[in-house]
Amino acid sequence: MFTTSSIIDYLSQSEGLEYKKLCRSLKITKKSDKDKLDIALTALEKLEIINKNAENEYTCKKDGNHIVAKIRCSSKGYCFAVRENNTEDIYIKENLLNYAWNGDKVLVRIIKDGYRRRSPEGIVDCILERTNQILLSKVEILNNDVYAIPIDDRILSKIKLPKDDKKYTYKPENKNIVEVEIDRFPIGQDEGLGHVIKELQLNNNEELDTDFVLSKSNICNIGNENLIEPKKLEKRERIDLSEKNSFLFRSWNSDNSPMLPMIQIEQGKNKNTKLWIHTNNVAERLDFNNKKSSEIFLNGFESLPLLNSWQNYLSESVRNASKFELGEKKEAISLCLHLNADNEVIQWSFHLALVKCSLIVGSDHTDALLSRKSKTRITSRLLKPIKEYIEDLDKILEISTSFRQRHLLDGQVEIPQPLNKIESLKEFFVHNPAEYSKGYFEPLKKEDCQTYLSPILYEANLIWFKHSNQYNLKSAIYYSNGTDNINANEIIKYSEFVNNDIELNEEGNLSFSQLIKLCSDDNKKRVLHKLLINEFKENQLSLNSESKYINDSEYPYISPWTVPGYDFSNLINQYCIFNMIINGRKSKKNNIDEINIVESNSLKLVNWDIFNSSTSKNLDILFSNFIIDKLNDYKNKVKQYKSNMISIKKVRKAEKLLGNIYSGLILSVQSYGFFVELSELNVEGLVHVSTLNNDWYEYRSRQNLLIGRKSKKSYKVGDLIEVKIIKVDILKYQIDLELT
């Protein structure tokens, strides 16, 4: 289904589109959809956002005074339009929101310039895209009418329901939250309309937690509608590597966890090595021009863990056709890295290949391999059955470690995963080698073999960025900040965690690695890791549409493509690689001297467009700002879902322990209280300042502490205290504590 946002996106990428071409771009064929498009075009013209020229072509106004932004509201009623590129936010008064809700993508017009420390003020002229189609709500009766009141207090509207939905009226003892489908958003003087599609009685009912958290994060529970069938593969020339040993490293326990690539090693003379990364051949099996496929992908761009399984964005039939199975011959899209004796990449090439999985390497294998005292003695019962593969596995682990060391020298940072003591969340805490939004690495752990897969895949993703960048190809990319410094002012807040022998550089900074080393207490070090994570900005996907201006030697960009079963960004980048292999031009027109464009030594020799106009147009549809924005939005939802899923399970755990007293460590201090981690349970709760009734406490932000005016008793980050669990709130994922 098209949106106002997609209309503007397609028009902004062209010099002008006539009506029929715009319909084709948006894949609109039905009369009902064309009627909606006509209404949208008329409204956008009246708002002076688009023009219609003498040739009946639609264009975006280049000098318009509208700004694309996303609405962010607080629970206190303050609303801002957040612009991209860290530009100043625009304050929007509630009566000027025009019923835009938290998370909606909008066009904003500035009506009052900012000055001094005040933000500019604006008005929402057009809602480009709605975030919420389903609302989690409480049903209440107001003036004899039935309404859905959103449990998210950042949504400032209520939705009128049919009289029959009165039966879902909220009862605190049941915690009966409902899912409401929006039939009509509020507009003008007309109220929003909707109807209840599902009731969730959450009180003492953990089985509904997943549905509740998915709905609260605005993620569709993809079911049987995900019916994209794989295409039959054409016969193509492939390198047959099925007689060589290929290894699948996997720590995930669920049967339907995302497909992972395989690693193959060829050790040659002079200590030179060929390292192969064989990725699941998904891109070749899908028809990206199919309208139904496009609509299905818009409902889910990423696979995510549930409690006992995964929700995959690819259908089961596509995954079954693509995944590597032990002893089965499979097609792959592969990268061959040539390494020197120091495990440095000296050249590379991309290929279509045939491969066979020789061994599924588990975390028990890496633990045994890395724990043995001598590489020459094989004593472990786990290693004896795989004796013939050990030399190759040792080399793969060595290469992985070398890659990671170089990445750290380039400014990347390692921070460990938080501890997990809840069995049902186990899959959430297995390392994900396809996750690049965090901005930092997780350390290599012999107890989790997927951590050793990560440095190899990261290197492969760096390689594709360099290759595509040189050919001026579009790709979905992450920019890794590589920040290894923390401001001295922030160190003061953590002073209770570290030793006194702090040495800052000339700019008053201290590296993360230095700071962590100065922390000697294991519990405090673990909390310090949590605090430092907040210093990192989330990496966002962007579009490498002007790649010729990017110097890959100066900026750490990656183009993820190695795990297409995990998310759509990997898939479309892999699709570009596949097109390069089969459709890429190997020479200029009328030139008989062909160049092998899949090899790294060709990069400086190519000075022509390697794709024809037809292939380029097909790729332009996938590599558009609209798709990249959708991907980032969905990734933010998945991040919120994972965090909320962990939180609700911790709250459920605390719910069974009401009244119990535990020792805790203060994590952070705010004006309204302080957050405490109960180390024994690995859960966090809030001691509200109102419960500190023995004194009046003042908040001092510079020292990050609360201090009593009379007693001078203080509470600061790092303090050990005794607290009691007094209350939990499942709907807000909140645990309330009080001092004992």
Q: What is the pLDDT of residues 133-186, one digit of tens each?
A: 899 999 999 999 999 999 998 898 899 999 999 999 999 999 999 999 999 999
Predicted TM-score of the model (pTM): 0.89
Measured CA to CA, the distance from residue 431 to residue 459 in angstroms comes to 17
Number of domains in the chain: 6
Residue 628 domain flag? yes
The residue type of 313 is: Y
Strand partners, 249: 361
Strand partners, 129: 105
Mean pLDDT, range 688-707, rounded to an integer? 88
Residue 39 sits in a domain of what CATH number? 1.10.10.10
Residue 231 domain flag? no
Mark whether 601 and 732 lie in a shared domain.
no
Residue 696 domain flag? yes
Q: What is the pLDDT of residue 285?
A: 94
Q: Output the CA–CA distances (angstroms, integers) from residue 203 to 208, 216, 660, in the order listed.
A: 10, 17, 20
Q: What percent of the chain has pLDDT over 90?
A: 56
Q: Which single residue is written with the structure tokens 């005292």?
A: 373
Mark whether 464 and 397 lie in a shared domain.
yes
Answer yes or no: is pLDDT of 511 > 70: no
Measured CA to CA, the distance from residue 288 to residue 300 in angstroms comes to 15
Higher pLDDT, 63 or 3: 3
Measured CA to CA, the distance from residue 259 to residue 380 in angstroms comes to 29
Mark whether 347 and 494 lie in a shared domain.
no
The token duo for 469 is: 């960048």
Measured CA to CA, the distance from residue 69 to residue 82 in angstroms comes to 5
Strand partners, 282: none
Answer yes or no: is pLDDT of 484 > 60: no
Residue 266 domain flag? no
Q: Which single residue is written with the structure tokens 């009593």?
A: 708
The residue type of 507 is: E
Measured CA to CA, the distance from residue 41 to residue 19 in angstroms comes to 10
Residue 727 sits in a domain of what CATH number? 2.40.50.140
Mark whether 698 and 609 lie in a shared domain.
no
Residue 213 domain flag? no
Residue 647 domain flag? no
Q: Determine how many CB atoms are found less than 10 A away from the CB of residue 22.
A: 20
Mean pLDDT, range 653-676, rounded to an integer? 92
Mark whether 476 and 407 lie in a shared domain.
yes
Mark whether 138 and 118 lie in a shared domain.
no
Contact 404, 390 (CB under 8 A): no
Mark whether 383 and 425 lie in a shared domain.
yes
Mark whether 451 and 305 lie in a shared domain.
yes
- Give the domain range for residue 594: 239-261+272-481+541-638
Contact 465, 475 (CB under 8 A): yes
Q: Output the CA–CA distances (angstroms, integers) from residue 634 to 218, 251, 430, 622, in the order listed.
A: 9, 25, 21, 16
The SS3 call for residue 45 is: helix
Of the listed ranges 54-63, 179-188, 371-380, 670-679, the one predicted with least confidence: 371-380
Residue 646 domain flag? no
Higher pLDDT, 134 or 75: 134
Helices (H), 498-624: 512-517, 522-533, 568-583, 613-622
Q: Are strands 310-311 and 304-305 parallel, antiparallel or unpaired?
A: antiparallel
Residue 82 domain flag? yes
Mark whether 570 and 671 lie in a shared domain.
no
Q: Across the chain, what does the average pLDDT equal?
A: 87
3-state secondary structure 446-472: CCECHHHHHHHHHHHHHHHHHHHHHCC
Q: Write down which residue in 84, 114, 129 finishes a domain.
A: 129
Mark whether 277 and 363 lie in a shared domain.
yes
Mark whether 496 and 571 lie in a shared domain.
no
Mark whether 451 and 511 lie in a shared domain.
no
Q: What is the pLDDT of residue 515?
A: 63
φ, ψ (nearest 5 deg) of residue 35: -65, -40
Answer yes or no: is pLDDT of 105 > 80: yes
pLDDT, tens digit, for every residue of 26-55? Answer: 878 888 888 889 988 988 888 888 888 878
Q: Write down which residue in 638, 665, 694 finishes a domain.
A: 638
Q: Write down which residue in 611, 638, 665 finishes a domain.
A: 638
663-676 burial, b if ≥16 CB within 10 A, otherwise e?
A: ebbbbbbeeebbbb
